[in-house]
Copies of this chain bind each other. A is one copy, B any other.
């Protein structure tokens, strides 16, 4: 692990482990931050998209005559005007604008650019599209039907992706098991619910290059996709991250917004602003991948898992995007938590005519952890064991290697379990007499792991950070990694500030811009603290070395004799021998072979791409979380209320406790929403019925108790100062912890998310009928 306490940094000045408000906060709360939708560019047009009202239909004809004739309209584009090149993360199968056929309700059919948003909207109404409705596949069951027509001709059986692997001897494991339990869990799709819908301003620059200011998690991935799809060399595309109001996985590269905006800009040779309305965003964005998981576990008498079989049926909707990768995580990742050597998975991704599903915070972990933690709870009960004990017994320890070759450098899983359950009063509450009144309380817990980075994206999971010291001794940081609100810029600022012993106000992160920032993978897979954090350390130290090399001759000492602190470099043994960073920075410019201090830090984890058998240590570190909740179930209404929640997060080292609490709390609320409230409702034609925040019920303040949480600092050997990723892990245990608590409260097991009052009531009724029958 990278040491925090470097003897050349004067004590007392560190910005690490201190509660620091986001460096982006001030601009946001003052209303000055510029989101893509806020931008105005000379000559800018406004774009609007016409979307398919059908889940599946042939486009018979499109008449844009009237729309084109509307004064103020500058372009009306259809599939005929869009590039023939299709797009998609793996399968290139989606058109920028649909051509011939639409495959989901909401698919982009035509796009308009006009001098005002109102005119663009009016023009949409004037576009005459004749559709011939086709039979739509609106469920995985229909997709699996051998008679089902293919969503994509040529994709046999509507399968988008399939994973199958086995390790150890699963049959022998089950044969030796004391207890075998099999059950099926279904998880639903969650809308990312970021505050800022997708937005882009695309413009040709004076050199005819295409520039996009956009809401994104990954400027370089967007550049690649836009270039490849619109037929431009990547160098002819510039992507600048505008202030981004949340991503949650939904703003990687699965959205058509940037492509449509780019196409409109190229066709009009004018800047075009394309901002999704909330309804459009609900229709166009990728919500999470719904999965039906059949889990079979064998345990010995002591709760040790000895065999595991997983079958997953996942749905990607009309286009596969990253859904296959999500399913891959569901199928594999949780295996790496446990000692069990006998695992087998078979996961299949199906196309339907529902909207495309994709990346979402937790990235497949949430789905599987709901099943696994529900399962462990159930089996522990059957074995008469405390599920916490079962988790502990199975947990891999630091230094061990998992069944898939993951090297567990650090793990605070056991400590997380202890911290969370202790905080919630687990020991007493679990054993207290069951409530018998209308409102019944119960406790539940769950545990999970996540990655910090993931080499399977490509054989580079590193990052590059440039540190530039200005003549005032302040520092600019240039990186291509995006901050969507989660705090990447704050984290990088803290690290560079720490290494140079500067106040945070003296470092400034330049927003990602593909023209000038080093290539970056982007903010996904909880990789930025690990990779960009380590790169920032390298860069910060290089800058410090450069300052020391410059300063040492002033006093005729070796660089090793120097310290940095209080905005100055000084002789450690004679602190009155000092020079401010500003003095040194000016000296670094104005001298022979000068030009200033501008250094580059690179870091890439010593991880590997998994091999063909899916074996290999893909991440530099693995983070863990455990959550314990207390719920109250109203047996008359079926309503579940979370009364208390405590998430213990093994983030390695809490570089900024307040930021991690923020992430943990946000993840917890998002998990509450998924477990209890949020649900995308479609009518029988596949049309979204609740694409707005009034009807799509995210957890509001009254649905959330005062959230509690704590850290376990497992000090990862690869992490920057021991830190690991801390934005995704905390979402994983929420749903199963609640499901387990509901079971504890009222004795019913809900395996089908969300846990709605209707389902609770139905389960209670069913049990009553069973009890009546049995009686």
Residues of A within 8 A of B (CB): 26-27, 32-34, 38-43, 204, 206-209, 224, 227, 233-235, 243, 458-460, 462-464, 468, 470-472, 474-476, 478, 506, 508, 510, 513, 515-519, 589-596, 598, 600, 602, 604
Contacts and interface: CB of A to CB of B under 8 A. Distances in A.
A514 to B, nearest CB: 8
B591 A460 contact: yes
Nearest to A472: B233
A518 B598 contact: yes
Contacts of A43: 40
Given A40-B42, A470-B235, A207 B508 contact: yes
B40 A459 contact: no
Contact of A234 (B472, B513, B518, B590): B472
Given A39-B42, A227-B472, A510-B515, 19 more contacts: A26-B207, A32-B208, A33-B206, A40-B41, A209-B508, A233-B472, A234-B470, A234-B471, A234-B472, A235-B474, A235-B506, A458-B589, A460-B590, A476-B515, A519-B598, A593-B602, A595-B604, A598-B600, A600-B600
Contact of A596 (B34, B474, B519, B593): B519
A83 to B, nearest CB: 17
A506 B206 CA distance: 16
Contacts of A513: 516
Main secondary structure of the interface of A (DSSP, over half): loop
Per CB-CB distance, the 8 closest pairs between chain A and chain B, nearest first, are: A235-B474, A40-B42, A27-B206, A460-B594, A233-B472, A519-B596, A516-B516, A32-B206
B596 A604 contact: no
A591 B519 CA distance: 13
Given A27-B206, A42-B40, A234-B471, A593 B600 contact: no
Contact of A40 (B40, B204, B208): B40
Nearest to A593: B604
Contacts of A27: 206-208
Nearest to A510: B515
Contact of A592 (B33, B460, B591): B460
9 contacts: A38-B42, A39-B42, A40-B42, A233-B474, A234-B471, A459-B592, A460-B590, A463-B595, A518-B595
A459 B591 contact: yes
A460 B595 contact: yes
Contacts of A33: 206
A624 to B, nearest CB: 27
A558 to B, nearest CB: 25
A604 B592 contact: yes
A473 B513 CA distance: 18
Number of this chain's copies in the complex? 2
Given A32-B208, A227-B472, A460 B589 contact: yes
A219 to B, nearest CB: 13
A594 B604 contact: yes
Contacts of A591: 459-460
A593 B207 contact: no
A589 B233 contact: no
A519 B38 CA distance: 31
Contacts of A464: 595-596, 598
Contact of A594 (B26, B42, B459): B459
Contacts of A235: 470, 472, 474-476, 506, 508
Contacts of A41: 40
A596 B518 contact: yes
B595 A462 contact: yes
A593 B606 CA distance: 9
A475 to B, nearest CB: 8
Name, among A459, A508, A516, A518, the residue most crowded by chain B CB atoms within 10 Å (CB to CB): A516
B34 A462 contact: no
A515 B34 CA distance: 18
A475 B224 CA distance: 15
A705 B513 CA distance: 48
Contact of A459 (B209, B590, B604): B590
Nearest to A40: B42
Contacts of A598: 464, 518-519, 600
Contacts of A204: 32
Nearest to A476: B515
A593 B42 contact: no
A195 B40 CA distance: 27
A741 B506 CA distance: 62
A586 to B, nearest CB: 9
Name, among A27, A39, A463, A596, the residue most crowded by chain B CB atoms within 10 Å (CB to CB): A596
A594 B462 contact: yes
A204 B30 CA distance: 13
Nearest to A470: B235
A736 to B, nearest CB: 36
A224 B592 contact: no
A27 B205 CA distance: 9
Contacts of A470: 233-235
Nearest to A464: B595
A602 B235 CA distance: 24
Contacts of A38: 42
A521 to B, nearest CB: 9
Nearest to A41: B40
Nearest to A38: B42
A355 to B, nearest CB: 31
Contacts of A474: 233-235
Nearest to A227: B472
A476 to B, nearest CB: 6
A458 B586 CA distance: 11
Contacts of A510: 515-516
A513 B468 CA distance: 13
A456 to B, nearest CB: 12
Name, among A32, A33, A460, the residue most crowded by chain B CB atoms within 10 Å (CB to CB): A460
A584 B33 CA distance: 38
Nearest to A471: B234
Contacts of A39: 42
Name, among A33, A39, A463, A518, the residue most crowded by chain B CB atoms within 10 Å (CB to CB): A518
Contacts of A602: 593, 595
A35 to B, nearest CB: 10
Nearest to A605: B592
A518 B468 CA distance: 8
A476 B236 CA distance: 10
Contacts of A518: 468, 595-596, 598
A459 to B, nearest CB: 5
A27 B206 CA distance: 5
Nearest to A207: B27
A25 to B, nearest CB: 11
A722 B476 CA distance: 36
Nearest to A606: B592
Nearest to A23: B207
A458 B207 CA distance: 35
A516 B468 CA distance: 8
A748 to B, nearest CB: 50
Nearest to A602: B595
A602 B598 CA distance: 11
Contacts of A517: 516
